[in-house]
Amino acid sequence: MYSDYDACSVCGSEVRLLAHPGTAGDDAGRPAGPDDGVVGAGDDPVDVRECTNPDCPSHRDGGPTP
């Protein structure tokens, strides 16, 4: 099972949870999501995990995901 609070899978450091792009709720006057009504794969996490270790390879362009 997926856990938001697991350590970074690359280096083992703590992770910081960030809102997924597009989830700020800037325009609350219209329905959320794309106009065609299809939203992602259905199983994608609702947040973005960012490693707190600045030397972690996950911070490199094209690096692994924490």
Pair 8, 34: CB distance under 8 Å: no
DSSP 7: P
pTM metric for this prediction = 0.59
CA distances from 16 to 4, 6, 27, 42, 50 (A): 9, 10, 26, 23, 5
DSSP bridge partners of 48: 18
CA distances from 41 to 2, 33, 44 (A): 15, 13, 6
5-63 per-position pLDDT tens digit: 789 999 999 999 887 766 554 555 555 566 666 665 555 566 788 999 999 999 999 88
